[in-house]
Chains A and B, each alone.
Chain A
Amino acid sequence: MWGFALHRWKWFGLLTIASAILALNTLTGTLKPMAEVVWLDIAGEGGAALLVLIWLALMLNSRPAGRVTNLLALGLSGIFVAYWQDVMDEVIQLPATIVWDHWLESGAMPVGMLLLTLGLYHWHKEQQAICDQLRKREKLFREHRDFDRLTPLTRAGYLREHLALASRCAAPPVLLMMELPDFDAHRRHLGERDSQRLLQEVAELLLLNLRRNDLLCRYAGHRFAALLTDIDARQALDLARELEQAVAAFAFKSGQGRTHYSQLVVAITEAGADPPEAWLERANRDLDEVRRRRAANVAA
């Protein structure tokens, strides 16, 4: 996914070192007679070297450049170098006066393992940070199919599963249903591409204004839903006002650089004794009601 180009210097470096080792061995040593060669050892050590190369390729392919990637790459390269020299030893007889081959064999392996361990430790830290960032978008478990193509959020199916979980909490959870009421008219004005981008940016904006443990999803179209747990009525109302103000103050820029303002309507619906589906229905009806009142106010 990150391609070869991003890491080409790492590959180039490893290739240079491997060739240098090959050159040094052939220049200073002599080929062993066939009878002395143990093919099983060659297959074992060569196979190990090859597997390490595959790990390196898989790792580099799935990671962006950076410190963690460098540590992992250095560690795996060290292990590869140790195995590579092992393979050389199986076929080339070096003079007894030479010691660097031992250093390569016994030194590169532990150093490589140490670097790999360090890299894995930082990778774990990095993963924790990413999870923290994703927390508002996906709560307990990750389900690839529930992700939205348009925004970084989850969809209605994911929300439904979480409503069931949340309604088992001690304090009644709150569902915020939110909508850009004039979105359809804005879409005609902005065009398809810009209006889709507007939705993406509003999604980001809502995420920024929610608390760490809240779940936000794109319900459908221009309607969003936020599931809030551990919250009282007063706090929920404040949060809803903050979201409305944040969207009202958001100066979206169209493709031509023109500023475009939007409104957000929010309905607050507490969980009741009813099942999750009915709760969701109620939240949608509440939103209809809020929207109707707003339209009546505008008309008056």
Chain B
Amino acid sequence: MRGGSHHHIGYQRDDRFIPCHHHPALLLEMVREPGLDDHKALRHTGLFPDDLLDTSARLSPRQYLQLVHNIRRLHPDPELGFRYGQTLLPGHYGAISTLLGNAAHLDQALITLEDYQPLITPLLAPRIIRTGEYCCVQWLDSCGAGNEYRFLVESMMSALASVTRWLSGGPLPWTFQFSYPQPDYPEHYQVYLGSQLYFEAQMDAMLIPAHYLNQPWPRGSHTARAVSEQQCQEQQLALGCDTSLVHQLYLALIERIREPPSLDTAARELGLSPATLKRKLKHHGTHFQDLLDRARKHTALHLLQFYGYNSEQVARYLRFNDNTNFRRSFKRWTGLTPSACQQLVDRAMTALKPL
């Protein structure tokens, strides 16, 4: 990574650390056919065809996003993201693939994804929420994906659904929830993900009843895990961070959501000046208030959806002085009133209830 002294603040858009021969090469392979020139797909990425075979070549998140953009323009087939996703995990990325491929149960697989996120899903960060009854894997934009965000969600959800089906030896009853409206190609969602799909549901997440977390999987090897885990730790140590700047700040805000720090405090804790933090966030297509709103919105949603809180309880938890104030803020975050939102998430939750 670039700029050795900045490691602890998380990786950024222009840090070159994504191995070319991992995800990017897989994506190119999906669309490579006789007659198609790699040069077109690599335009403005700063990459050359030879880099794809060079195991030391690295891409920044920005370059990887540019590659996704180019390939989607050359191949507008909406199935691409889902097919690409199926090939992503556990992948052939060395230690991290061994670690994931030898998970003893779903929980271990999810912990692996979360702990070593930069090594295996650099553009979209998973956040795992365990509520006792349910487990929720929420996918979050870690580097400002912009127009490529939906493609990334499609591919990572398809990746996790496929790898857990393979490792567990059968399909798992995931329920899928999306922040965006249903695209005009629902068939790919149905076939690659499953039939429990909820669009316009405020967040991009995969839900499953908690008792699936610890059901033993047939492939897990303890020794292989122990060795590869050590290698992953070393790789992440060399990288100097365990997530992106944006995601790290988001998580820090979530952690102290009842008394969130100001921009100045947050910047000081990262060892940056407020102006620098502002500039860096802007470079990732976001700003401090936007991240704070996102963290509060997601907290409110989780409380409503998983913990059975009502609107007043959520308002009290988030330390709003009065309910009207909370309703106004909630409407600004989600476009819905808390009760309308409650009804919406209840539909997804009934699908999760054991038969």
Is the C-beta of B176 less than 8 angstroms from some C-beta in chain A? no
B87 with A221: CB separation less than 8 A: no
Q: Shortest beta-carbon distance, B271 to chain A, in Å?
A: 44
B188 with A184: CB separation less than 8 A: no
Most chain A CB within a 10 A radius of its CB, from B190, B192, B195: B190
**CB contact between A219 and one of B83, B165, B166, B191 (< 8 Å): that residue:** B191
Is the C-beta of B334 less than 8 angstroms from some C-beta in chain A? no
Quick one: closest B residue to A185, CB to CB?
A: B166
Q: Shortest beta-carbon distance, A190 to chain B, in Å?
A: 12
Q: Shortest beta-carbon distance, B93 to chain A, in Å?
A: 16
Is the C-beta of A187 less than 8 angstroms from some C-beta in chain B? yes
Interface residues of B in 104-124 (CB under 8 A from A): none
Is the C-beta of A220 less than 8 angstroms from some C-beta in chain B? yes
A221 with B195: CB separation less than 8 A: no
> For the complex, what is the distance from the CA of A223 to the CA of B29, rounded to whole Å?
23
Is the C-beta of B34 less than 8 angstroms from some C-beta in chain A? no
Q: How many A-B residue pairs have CB under 8 A?
A: 40
Is the C-beta of A288 less than 8 angstroms from some C-beta in chain B? yes
Is the C-beta of A284 less than 8 angstroms from some C-beta in chain B? yes
B86 with A220: CB separation less than 8 A: no
**CB contact between A220 and one of B30, B165, B170, B190 (< 8 Å): that residue:** B190
Q: Shortest beta-carbon distance, B345 to chain A, in Å?
A: 22
Interface residues of A in 174-223 (CB under 8 A from B): 179, 184-185, 187-188, 192, 219-223
Is the C-beta of A37 less than 8 angstroms from some C-beta in chain B? no
> For the complex, what is the distance from the CA of A221 to the CA of B82, rounded to whole Å?
9
B29 with A221: CB separation less than 8 A: no
Interface residues of B in 69-104 (CB under 8 A from A): 77, 79, 82-83, 86-87
Quick one: closest A residue to B87, CB to CB?
A: A192
Q: Shortest beta-carbon distance, A2 to chain B, in Å?
A: 16
Q: Shortest beta-carbon distance, A154 to chain B, in Å?
A: 12
Count, chain B residues at interface, CB 8 A: 20
Query: Given known contacts A184-B166, A187-B86, A288-B195, is B29 in contact with A220 (CB within 8 Å)?
Result: no
Q: Shortest beta-carbon distance, B270 to chain A, in Å?
A: 41
Most chain B CB within a 10 A radius of its CB, from A156, A185, A220: A220
Is the C-beta of B162 less than 8 angstroms from some C-beta in chain A? yes
Query: Given known contacts A149-B77, A184-B165, A285-B195, is B170 in contact with A221 (CB within 8 Å)?
Result: no
A184 with B191: CB separation less than 8 A: no
B29 with A219: CB separation less than 8 A: no
> For the complex, what is the distance from the CA of A284 to the CA of B189, rounded to whole Å?
12
Quick one: closest B residue to A292, CB to CB?
A: B171
Most chain A CB within a 10 A radius of its CB, from B166, B185, B187, B188: B187
Is the C-beta of A295 less than 8 angstroms from some C-beta in chain B? yes
Contact residues on A (Cβ < 8 Å of other chain), bracket: 10 to 19
Residues of A within 8 A of B171 (CB): 295
Residues of B within 8 A of A223 (CB): 187, 190-191
Residues of A within 8 A of B82 (CB): 221
Interface residues of A in 10-30 (CB under 8 A from B): none
> For the complex, what is the distance from the CA of A221 to the CA of B77, rounded to whole Å?
12
> For the complex, what is the distance from the CA of A295 to the CA of B191, rounded to whole Å?
17
**CB contact between A184 and one of B77, B79, B162 (< 8 Å): that residue:** B162
Residues of B within 8 A of A219 (CB): 187, 191
A221 with B191: CB separation less than 8 A: yes
Residues of B within 8 A of A192 (CB): 29-30, 87
**CB contact between A156 and one of B30, B170, B187 (< 8 Å): that residue:** B187
Query: Given known contacts A219-B191, A221-B79, is B170 in contact with A295 (CB within 8 Å)?
Result: yes
Interface string of A125-149 (1 = CB under 8 A from B): 0000000000000000000000001
> For the complex, what is the distance from the CA of A284 to the CA of B170, rounded to whole Å?
19
Quick one: closest A residue to B30, CB to CB?
A: A192
**CB contact between B187 and one of A179, A188, A220, A288 (< 8 Å): that residue:** A220
Residues of A within 8 A of B30 (CB): 192
> For the complex, what is the distance from the CA of A198 to the CA of B29, rounded to whole Å?
18
Residues of A within 8 A of B187 (CB): 156, 219-220, 223
> For the complex, what is the distance from the CA of A187 to the CA of B190, rounded to whole Å?
18
Q: Shortest beta-carbon distance, B88 to chain A, in Å?
A: 12
Q: Shortest beta-carbon distance, A187 to chain B, in Å?
A: 7
Residues of A within 8 A of B195 (CB): 284-285, 288
A220 with B166: CB separation less than 8 A: no
A220 with B87: CB separation less than 8 A: no
Residues of A within 8 A of B165 (CB): 184-185
Q: Shortest beta-carbon distance, A225 to chain B, in Å?
A: 9
Q: Shortest beta-carbon distance, A291 to chain B, in Å?
A: 8
Residues of A within 8 A of B188 (CB): 220-221
Quick one: closest A residue to B75, CB to CB?
A: A149
Q: List 14 A-B contacts (CB under 8 A).
A: A184-B166, A185-B165, A185-B166, A187-B86, A188-B166, A192-B29, A220-B185, A220-B190, A221-B79, A221-B192, A222-B191, A223-B187, A284-B190, A295-B171
Question: Can you add 13 more A-B contacts, CB < 8 Å, to A156-B185, A179-B191, A185-B166?
Answer: A184-B166, A185-B165, A187-B86, A192-B29, A192-B87, A220-B79, A220-B187, A220-B190, A221-B82, A222-B191, A284-B190, A295-B170, A295-B171
Closest 3 CB pairs of A and B: A220-B187, A220-B191, A221-B191
